[in-house]
Amino acid sequence: MITPLDIQNKEFKKTLLGYKSQEVDSYLDSINEDYEKLYKENIELKDKIGILTDQIKQYNNLEETLKSTLVVAQSTADEVTSSARKKAELIIEDAEISAKNRITSALDEVRKIREEYDKLENEIYMFKTRYESFLKAQLISLEEFHNNFETNKANGENIKADIIKSDDLDKMNHLGA
């Protein structure tokens, strides 16, 4: 590629019938200025392209890093979610087991109370039956006592009458003797 310096240092051979050297020099100076501007602009643009290419590489690297970070974050989120679900399932399972144990315990307690109630009910029935038997036995005993008393009273009056008769006989025997 031709540089502006090449254009500036270019010398043409002079001939007799050639172009006017002053016009050619003036025209070459004008081309050299324009070319120098374009050349500098081209270098600046190449530098900018280099800088932008480096930035694009950095952005691409950043993009790859972000992608891998997002993949790791998604994986971590999935693991956390899975772990949370498993933990929730364990908590629910423990709660269900605890509830079943409490229900079983409560049912056992109810069964024990029911057994105790039935036992007390039996004891009350047995007490009532025994007490009724006792009272009946007492009534029979009282009735026998009363009957014996009445019999004895009647016998006692008979005995008394016999005693009185016997006393009267004795008196008579004493009198008549």
Q: pLDDT tens, 63-98?
A: 999 999 999 999 999 999 999 999 999 999 999 999
| Model pLDDT, residue 84 | 97
Token reading at 160: 């008394």
What is the pLDDT at residue 7? 75
Work out how many domains the chain is built from and give that number. 1
Alpha-carbon torsion 108, 113, 116, 117, what sign?
A: negative
pTM of the model: 0.41
DSSP state for residue 18 in the 8-state scheme: S
Range of the domain at 169: 4-176
Please give the residue that has the higher pLDDT: either 22 or 169. Answer: 22
Q: In this predicted structure, what is the pLDDT of residue 149?
A: 80
